A = this chain, B = another copy of it.
């Protein structure tokens, strides 16, 4: 496949994953209570749907689905895991946007949840999404093997929790309030937690679902790590260049807030070079899975993520 075809195939797969995820999330967040639920309060459900449906490229779901597909796994197993991951991503945005946190009014070009609803509903809708993510993964509908479901729950919780995403947000907020900015190592650690952990989980989930060998799982994990770092740098570059439209949220706010980014630490050119190097790392890791051309769509994903910079 040449570069243009690869890009086209990637786009087709990305859009396909987004459509499938949207439909599955819509069904999961239906008004009907599941066995063991008493009722799904309408306004709370509406807020959960508001923050989950109708937005985003669904990069994380795409990575789950395509990583699982490397091993021939398709269908509900990957899609439900993808939805759970997306719920956790979306809840984190809702809570991060709160007045006590980043205090943002705009997200994906729409009012943030606490603006569209109210602060209490935003907090609870985040709690509801986070909780529901584990419900979705643990449900037998996700996979017939209970031990595999438990492994997915464990990996997801560990990626999303105090030693991962939640901890990363705590470190980021602490850095904003601190007198001295984070150094490069601290910035990389914070970003590996705040943004990286969920992206790594996406490909780890594919390895779990697909029954990857330890070598394949480790290679995919390295891919996810490089991809996550590239993703964060590209986001920081986009913010520094002030492209609000491409970001879907207000640009330029990192510098305003003295936020720790590699752009601030290294400058734009070095940040761009690092982003390219990470793409190479990502594609090299894919080669080590021994899965050959099946990994091409994931390699293209790394290039896509890095190309978010304008």
Interface residues of A in 104-133 (CB under 8 A from B): 118-121, 123-124, 126-128, 130-132
A100 contacts the other chain (CB 8 A): yes
Q: Is the CB of A161 within 8 A of B132?
A: yes
Closest Cβ neighbor of A88 among chain B residues: B131
Number of copies of this chain that the complex holds: 2
A116 to chain B, nearest CB (A): 15
CA distance A173 to B128 in the complex (A): 15
Q: Is the CB of B189 within 8 A of A124?
A: no
CA distance A36 to B160 in the complex (A): 11
Q: Is the CB of B123 within 8 A of A161?
A: no
User: Assuming the A-B contacts A43-B174, A139-B154, are A37 and B161 also in contact, with contact meaning beta carbons closer than 8 angstroms in the complex?
Assistant: yes
Partner of A162, one of B132, B151, B157: B132
Q: Is the CB of A163 within 8 A of B43?
A: no
Taking A45-B162, A95-B124, A135-B154 as known contacts, 16 extra A-B pairs with beta carbons closer than 8 A to each other, sorted by chain A number, are A37-B158, A37-B162, A37-B167, A38-B193, A38-B197, A40-B163, A44-B167, A98-B120, A121-B173, A128-B166, A131-B161, A135-B158, A138-B150, A145-B146, A146-B148, A146-B150
Interface residue count on the A side (C-beta < 8 Å): 65
Q: Is the CB of B41 within 8 A of A162?
A: yes
Interface residues of A in 189-217 (CB under 8 A from B): 189, 192-193, 197
Q: Is the CB of B138 within 8 A of A120?
A: no
Q: Is the CB of B127 within 8 A of A167?
A: no
User: Assuming the A-B contacts A40-B167, A100-B119, A120-B173, are A162 and B197 also in contact, with contact meaning beta carbons closer than 8 angstroms in the complex?
Assistant: no
Binary flags per residue of A283-302, CB closer than 8 Å to B gives 1, else 0: 00000000000000000000
Residues from chain B with a CB closer than 8 A to the CB of A135 are 153-154, 157-158, 161
Residues from chain B with a CB closer than 8 A to the CB of A95 are 123-124, 127
A1 to chain B, nearest CB (A): 35
A146 to chain B, nearest CB (A): 3
CA distance A15 to B121 in the complex (A): 37
Partner of A163, one of B36, B154, B158, B174: B36
Closest Cβ neighbor of A201 among chain B residues: B36
Q: Is the CB of B131 within 8 A of A169?
A: no
Residues from chain B with a CB closer than 8 A to the CB of A154 are 135, 138-139
A170 contacts the other chain (CB 8 A): yes
A155 to chain B, nearest CB (A): 7
Q: Can you list 20 pairs linking A and B with CB atoms under 8 Å apart?
A: A35-B158, A36-B155, A36-B158, A37-B158, A37-B164, A38-B163, A38-B197, A39-B163, A95-B124, A95-B127, A98-B123, A100-B119, A121-B170, A127-B127, A130-B131, A132-B161, A135-B161, A138-B151, A140-B150, A146-B147
Q: Is the CB of B38 within 8 A of A189?
A: yes
User: Assuming the A-B contacts A146-B148, A170-B44, are A38 and B164 also in contact, with contact meaning beta carbons closer than 8 angstroms in the complex?
Assistant: yes
